[in-house]
Amino acid sequence: MPIDGANDGASGVAVLMELGNLMAEIRPPCNVEFLLTDAEDWGVSGDRDRYLLGSQHFGRSGIRDRYHFGIVLDMIGDAEQEICREAFSDSFFVEINDMIWEVAAELGVVTFIDSVRHGVLDDHLNLAAAGVPAVVVVDFDYPYWHTEYDTPDKCSPQALENVGVVMTRIVYSPSLWPGKK
Ligand SMILES: [Zn+2]
């Protein structure tokens, strides 16, 4: 049955939309592209190639060397927010994760927990495979995941703001970017 998917997958889109509003007012220090992928959850359990279809397709469009780095936002609206470092992101691009968690600590966003908890199959893997250093910011401990109970009442504006302020600081602080220090 189709479901709302409030946290999985509207929450990330909501933060990108608000970042877009902000960037329309205050131009960021470099071009920023928003990628909204479809068919991330299209697959059949156990058949990895049927998941992440949108980012697979984007990865085939020759994106190597086009970007400094990428950050995927997924499942970041949970009212009981606890965002740990994602395992694949931390093993492949720890410098990007370090930047994100350092900024969160500096801003006092305590829902960013500085430890690794899960490895998550997500769009960042296709971006990385296509040559773009990319991580995912994901709060994977969500009891309503992939159920009809994943509805807006399980999410909170504060959770979205927590991620939004961290991303805003990163976008407007090129001196923090990996490879730029
Ligand atoms: Zn999902």
Q: Which two tokens stand for residue 172?
A: 């407007």
Amino acid 36: pLDDT: 96
CA of 9 to the centre of ligand 1 (A): 7
pLDDT tens digits, 30-71: 999 999 999 999 877 778 788 899 999 999 998 998 999 999
CA of 62 to the centre of ligand 1 (A): 26
| Amino acid letter, residue 84 | C
Domains and CATH numbers, the chain: 10-173 (3.40.630.10)
pLDDT tens digits, 84-128: 999 999 999 999 999 999 999 999 999 999 999 999 999 999 999
pTM above 0.85, yes or no: yes
Average pLDDT of the chain is 95
Residue 75 and residue 11 in contact, taking contact as beta carbons nearer than 8 Å = yes
C-alpha distances (whole Å) from 160 to each of 42, 91, 98, 163 are 25, 26, 20, 5
CA of 41 to the centre of ligand 1 (A): 5
